[in-house]
């Protein structure tokens, strides 16, 4: 029974990891931009959630809504004012730009919030639990998994059935062709970046509720995001979700065997998949 509980907790953690990777995967899938600042945006969103948490004392999870809206607007401004200026086939300027943004964000968070570890208060929700078949699970981890599933499903549906979603998909396929149809691909990129940062912001707030964070946590979050995207396969939403679950289960099971291991076993699984299935889970399914 203890292993069932361990795997279930790994799945709950994997839902959060999948959400951490979703913003990065969406950005790269649409614009082919490797956003080095993704991890620091996630941590910055957690700090914004911490600042806004006193405004939602009775329903802690509601804080994700204003944080996501703020992140969406920041994404629009960031893409239109900075990233659009360095777009091109050469990705080096884009990587250098986002690397510089990451450094500014990190140092800004240290200056404004200090270097101490923080956590977003959730009141009684942090310790709430429920029982299934004699096993007890945390309510908050389960809610995070449900939120992640809903966001993946909603984004997948929106991209396939809405006009703007189909425009984003078409722009991702060939931004030069869509211009012949009167589409301003830079405006599409603005919206895509806003969505990516909003998704990352939600992940950051939920991460801040489940655990602690510091201004220096961005590197770890970026590494998790990269691993989720590569394990799942670039361009595959549900592949990324599966990649997050694999990382989460591997980490929790690994900690069961070796409490000092941390993320080591997740990194080992990532390395093995990178060697034997470089196109990720989605690549294997396409064969």
For residue 263, give its domain range: 2-286
Average pLDDT over residues 270-281: 83
Q: How many folded domains does the chain comprise? A: 1
**Could you read off the pLDDT of 232-262 as tens digits, one per residue?**
887 788 889 999 999 999 999 888 887 777 6
Alpha-carbon span 78 to 73, nearest angstrom:
9
- Letter string b/e over residues 42-58, b meaning 16 or more CB atoms within 10 A of that residue's CB: bbbbbbbbbebbeeeee
Hey, which residues does 130 pair with through a beta bridge?
A: 137
**Could you read off the pLDDT of 11-64 as tens digits, one per residue?**
999 999 999 999 998 988 888 888 899 999 999 999 999 999 888 766 778 899
């Amino acid at each position: 029974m203890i292993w069932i509980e361990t795997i279930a907790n790994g799945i709950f953690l994997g839902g959060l990891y999948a959400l951490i990777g979703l913003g990065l995967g969406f950005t790269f899938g649409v614009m082919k931009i490797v956003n080095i600042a993704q991890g620091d945006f996630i941590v910055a969103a957690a700090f914004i959630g911490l600042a806004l948490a006193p405004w939602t004392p009775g329903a802690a999870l509601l804080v994700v809504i204003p944080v996501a809206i703020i992140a969406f607007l920041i994404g629009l401004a960031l893409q239109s004012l900075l990233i659009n200026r360095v777009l091109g086939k050469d990705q080096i300027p884009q990587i250098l730009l986002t690397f510089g943004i990451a450094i500014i964000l990190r140092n800004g968070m240290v200056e404004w919030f200090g270097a101490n570890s923080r956590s977003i208060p959730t009141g009684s929700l942090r310790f709430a639990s429920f029982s299934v078949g004699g096993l007890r699970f945390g309510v908050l981890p389960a809610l995070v998994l449900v939120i992640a599933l809903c966001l993946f499903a909603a984004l997948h549906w929106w991209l396939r059935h809405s006009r703007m979603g189909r425009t984003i998909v078409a722009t991702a396929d060939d931004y030069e062709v869509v211009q012949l149809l009167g589409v301003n691909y830079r405006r599409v990129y603005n919206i895509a970046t806003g969505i990516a940062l909003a998704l990352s912001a939600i992940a950051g707030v939920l991460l801040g509720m489940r655990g602690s964070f510091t201004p220096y946590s961005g590197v770890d979050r970026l590494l998790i995001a990269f691993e989720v995207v590569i394990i799942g396969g670039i361009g595959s939403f549900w592949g990324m979700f599966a990649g997050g679950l694999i990382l989460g289960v591997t980490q929790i099971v690994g900690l069961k065997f070796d409490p000092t291991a941390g993320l080591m076993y997740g990194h080992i699984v990532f390395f093995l998949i990178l060697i034997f299935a470089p196109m990720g889970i989605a690549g294997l399914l396409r064969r």
